[in-house]
Structure 1
Amino acid sequence: MNELHVTQARGRSLEPPADRRAALEAAFAHHDWTPVPRDESDESPVRLTVEDADRLAGVAAELHAVFGGDVAALNRALVRHGAVPSLHGDPPVLAFHRPGADRVDAWAADACTALAMVIGVGQGRRLRSCEAEGCDLVFFDVTRNASRRFCGLSCQNRAKATAYRARRRT
């Protein structure tokens, strides 16, 4: 989601990837994730289309607001992408998209449901946006007391150095 939507990260401006399809495929490879075939009986690997990548970028923008607490946006996305629990495949696997959904709606419905489940079990405060100036990255806070404020050490260090310099000036 971060790669497709954010315009600032770690204090630097970012341009959206010119080739979203290639960026998504690289992200999938980095996380060792293989998209499922359109037809569940087909074993061949799936290649994203440019249209799929553009639609997924729209989903990323739509879901970015959820990390800021916009539950209404999540509810709209759940309805728009047809999120319903169902069993797919053999052996059956629980998924949260309607049977026959296209690839983007299936991924979006599953992602929306995952976010809704996090919020629904009282862990919505763990869906965070980086608090550093010049960083729009979002993350899931896995700390014990849900106290993480920054996406990573570079933003944390930058924020602490800025605060230190401000204190020294006064």
Structure 2
Amino acid sequence: MNETVDPMLVTGQIHFDSHVQVVTDQACRLVNALTSGHDGTRPIDAPPRGHRAQVVHDLLARPDYDPRVEEAAADGMVALAESLRIVFEAAARGDLDTAATSVNELLREMGSVPQLDRARGGGWALHFHGREPGLVVGWGAGIAAGLALAIGSDLAGRLGLCQADPCDRVFVDTSKNAGRRFCSTRCQSRVKAAAHRARQK
């Protein structure tokens, strides 16, 4: 497994608390931070070229992982995020043909290959390696594989797009009843407040 991708364990039954959640959560973070649109009612742009490396670093860094991010790799991560947005938008509107086709393209582009590697706590874990070392391919291979597992199961409907217009941030619905509609409580509260005002009129 490339050093840029978390170890990912796949159990006999795929749940969003397994490796699929790890990579879909990371996909959400990349899409929401690196693609243009609206965050709530606030228009946002992708980070400008030449100023993306720190943003990408902060998205990926953990206490045990401090990636070195060059601007060229950061540009690649922005392009990856734009491809991931297509997947989330298609899945959210129920267009699984487009979502699956887009994920298949990413799997081929990244050269995602499954491999059993030694797990940190002992035993073996299933990892996804990319076609070559590197930040974009390393993360892209794992994320594409995780989205493929989600779309190829009954979890495809859990990939969401915020319904609080004009917000277009994405999310993964991990609620028990699969009823999540918003990217955040802020957007949920805004919609509820607007509905309340409309009823008062």
Bin the TM-score by the shorter chain: 0.7 to 0.9
CA contact (8 A) 2:57 2:67 kept: no
1:86-125 → structure 2 map (5 Å cutoff): 86-87=115-116, 94-98=126-130, 100-125=132-157
| 1:130 paired residue number | 162
- How big is the shift at 1:21? 0.8
Q: What is the count of residue pairs matched by the alignment?
A: 158
For 1:160 and 1:47, the matched residues in 2 are separated by: 43
Unaligned runs of 5+ in 2: 1-29, 92-98
For 1:115 and 1:90, the matched residues in 2 are separated by: 22
The verdict on how the C-alpha distance between 1:32 and 1:7 changes in structure 2, with shifts beyond 3 A counting, is farther
The verdict on how the C-alpha distance between 1:105 and 1:98 changes in structure 2, with shifts beyond 3 A counting, is closer
CA contact (8 A) 1:21 1:53 kept: yes
CA contact (8 A) 1:86 1:98 kept: no
- How big is the shift at 1:99? 5.7
- Which protein has greater RCO, CA pairs closer than 8 Å, 6+ apart? 2
What is the TM-score of this pair, normalised by structure 1? 0.82
Aligned to 1:64, which of 74, 85, 92? 85
Q: Which amino acid aligns with 1:140?
A: V
| 2:45 paired residue number | 15
Q: Are residues 1:143 and 2:178 paired?
A: no
For 2:113 and 2:105, the matched residues in 1 are separated by: 14
- How big is the shift at 1:98? 3.7
3-state SS of the aligned residue for 2:126?
A: strand
CA RMSD of aligned residues (A): 2.2
The verdict on how the C-alpha distance between 1:134 and 1:97 changes in structure 2, with shifts beyond 3 A counting, is same
Point out the more displaced range, 146-155 or 94-103. Answer: 94-103
| 2:113 paired residue number | 84
- How big is the shift at 1:89? 7.1
CA contact (8 A) 1:85 1:98 kept: no
For 1:115 and 1:160, the matched residues in 2 are separated by: 31
For 1:14 and 1:90, the matched residues in 2 are separated by: 39
For 2:192 and 2:119, the matched residues in 1 are separated by: 52
The verdict on how the C-alpha distance between 1:117 and 1:157 changes in structure 2, with shifts beyond 3 A counting, is same
| 2:8 paired residue number | none
For 1:148 and 1:67, the matched residues in 2 are separated by: 14
| 1:164 paired residue number | 196
Unaligned runs of 5+ in 1: 35-44
The CA deviation string for residues 14-73 of structure 1, in whole angstroms up to 9 with x for no partner, is 1322321111112234x5462xxxxxxxxxx54111000000110001011211212211
3-state SS of the aligned residue for 2:129?
A: coil
3-state SS of the aligned residue for 2:171?
A: strand
What is the TM-score of this pair, normalised by structure 2? 0.71
For 1:131 and 1:33, the matched residues in 2 are separated by: 35
- How big is the shift at 1:88? 5.1
| 2:16 paired residue number | none
